[in-house]
Structure 1
Amino acid sequence: MAHYMPYAFCPGEHMAWSDYAERAEDGPSTRILQALAEENKMVIISTILERDENLEDRIWNTAVVIDNHGNYLGKHRRNHIPKIDNPNEPTYFCEGNTDHPVFQTDYGRIGVSICYERHFPLNWLGYALNGAQIVFNPCATIGDQMETLWPIEARNAAIANGYYVCAINRVGTEIYEHEFETDEGVVLHKDSGSFFGSSYIAAPNGTRSPGLSRTKNGLLVCDIDLNMCRQIKDDRGYGAFERSVLYSDVIKEAANSHKSQIITKY
């Protein structure tokens, strides 16, 4: 089960909203969900506004993983923080420093790729390299452009990386007490826009479940066979023919020197 924080952003970057930030390890959200996880024998992923008191009180967009015994397993802090008009997330979220953790649970090895991270293929790859069998992608996503990508990205990630992807999106619209503002203080609106839901599960063989409603809350229950993760990789030869060293070399060169390998024939 994946749970998304009860608000999407910090409207207008008002510092008062930072009061919602809490510790991942033992904050109020974690404590409440630990009891529910143990009672219902389920793994729960809870995305929160995390405050790290041991690191200069920094604030992160964090996913907390709680196992089916009610234990806090660990957390993932979102790697990619977008600066796209408004909301201006870098004014309150720090870029994550947890890389691509994979958590061993009684139900399989799971990773969490938070919201905007789904747009980056190498981010998905990180969880595959660390052994994930299921990757959850909790989102708070709106907009026509995002909705056209929604049925494709998680499914493509499942196929390319040989694991299941649970694509989770909110429904409804948040109404804020105060107007949503830009950095310059220009009043824009008092709502979040409409989250389009449509949550689904994608399998490594390219199949997917039906999607949930665009407008109503729902619960998606799906039987999955984790053996498929290994079987697909074996059948398609991914393990035998993937050249990770080749990829790491070109990425390292591009990151360090912006060296181009474009060849022009004169």
Structure 2
Amino acid sequence: MWRQRSQMFTVFQSLQSTYYMEGDTGHTVFQTQFGRIAVNICYGRHHPLNWFMYSMNGAEIIFNPSATVGDLSEPMWPIEARNAAIANHCFTCAINRVGTEHFKSEFTSGDGKKAHHDLGHFYGSSYVAAPDGSRTPGLSRTRDGLLVAEMDLNLNRQLCDKWTFKMTGRYAEYAQKLTEAVRHDFKPKIVKE
């Protein structure tokens, strides 16, 4: 089962990486009358550094609109945005569509399976997570819905001051190691017995 999910995840990653192009505008945050917001698109939710960079750029609310199917990532769904809210002292909005989209032409996903007309069931379950780890109930898995949530943006600062995750981060060291890690000759630091 794990191998099957892993393959499906890789296939979707490949599909999204080849069908859509990654953005190159940085992790932009928008000042609005409702607060400083950012938009982390679909697959970007799987990368903790995306959430982190939006937060470092001052985001108070990070939206993550998605179109993801059950077999692909549903076990991670209730955790990812909630964890990002806690780790980055901000509100996160995990948004997913519902239903099944059928395409007129068959296509393959590079997973060795025969051609098909849909990606699977989009499981909805949208929710909002707060920086204290609380979250709203999820919306329906099968029906469109509207979620209205009240967000006290003061909670972001209060928890930042209480938990101090940002203050205690070792950002200079992370930056140095990330710079090294993208080099072709990178060797991980592993202590052997």
1:85/1:102 CA distance change after superposition, 3 Å: closer
**Which consecutive aligned stretches of 4+ in structure 1 deviate over 4 angstroms post-superposition?**
none
- For structure 1, the residue ranges without an aligned partner over 5 or more in a row are 1-81
Q: Find out whether 1:218 has 2:145 as its counterpart.
A: yes
3-state SS of 2:101 partner: strand
Letter paired with 1:218? G
Quote how far apart the aligned CAs of 1:87 are.
Answer: 7.5
Q: Is 1:205 aligned with 2:132?
A: yes
Q: TM-score, normalised by structure 2?
A: 0.87
Q: Where does residue 170 of structure 2 map in the other structure?
A: 243
Match of 1:259 in 2: 187
- Which deviations, in whole Å up to 9, do the C-alpha atoms of 1:162-188 show, x marking residues without a partner? 1000000000011111212357xx851
- 8 Å contact from structure 1 (residues 83, 90) kept in 2: no
TM-score by length of 1: 0.64
Change (3 A) 1:174 1:147: same
Instruction: Give the conservation status (yes or no) of the 8 Å contact 2:63–2:93.
Output: yes
**Structure 1 90/106 Cα, relative in aligned 2: closer, same or farther at 3 Å?**
same
Aligned to 1:163: 90
Cα displacement (A) at 1:120: 0.8
Structure 1 SS opposite 2:180: helix
Q: CA separation in 2, counterparts of 1:181 and 1:261?
A: 40
In the alignment, is residue 142 of structure 1 matched against residue 69 of structure 2? Answer: yes
Residue 102 (structure 2) aligns with: 175
- Take 1:177 and 1:145, find their aligned partners in 2: how far apart are those partners? 22
Query: Aligned partners of 1:145 and 1:179: how far apart in 2?
Result: 20
Structure with greater contact order relative to length (CA < 8 Å, sep ≥ 6):
2
Report which of the two has the higher share of strand. 1
Would the aligned equivalents of 1:102 and 1:109 in 2 still touch at CA under 8 Å? yes
- What is the CA RMSD across the aligned residues, in angstroms? 2.3
Q: Does 1:121 align with 2:45?
A: no
In structure 2, the gaps of 5 or more residues are 1-8
Aligned to 2:6: none
Deviation at 1:215, TM superposition (A): 0.2
Q: Distance in 1 between matches of 2:31 and 2:19?
A: 31
The structure where helix makes up a greater share of residues is 2
Task: Classify 1:251/1:197 alpha carbon distance in 2 versus 1 (closer, same or farther; 3 Å).
Answer: same
Task: Tell me how far 1:204 sits from its aligned partner.
Answer: 0.4
Q: Could you give the per-residue CA deviations for residues 62-91 of structure 1, whole angstroms, max 9, x where no partner exists?
A: xxxxxxxxxxxxxxxxxxxx8616983344
After TM superposition, give the deviation of residue 144 of structure 1 in Å.
3.0
Residues 29, 59 of structure 2: 8 Å contact kept: yes
* Cα shift at 1:237: 2.1
Quick one: which amino acid aligns to residue 22 of structure 2? E
- How many residues align? The count is 184
Paired letter, 1:260: P
Residue 195 of structure 1: aligned partner: 122
One-letter code aligned to 1:144: D
Displacement of 1:111 in angstroms is 0.6
Change over 3 Å in CA distance of 1:250–1:105 after alignment to 2:
same
Residue identity opposite 2:86 in structure 1: I
Is this contact kept in 2: 1:135–1:163, CA < 8 A? Answer: yes
Q: Displacement, 1:192?
A: 2.7
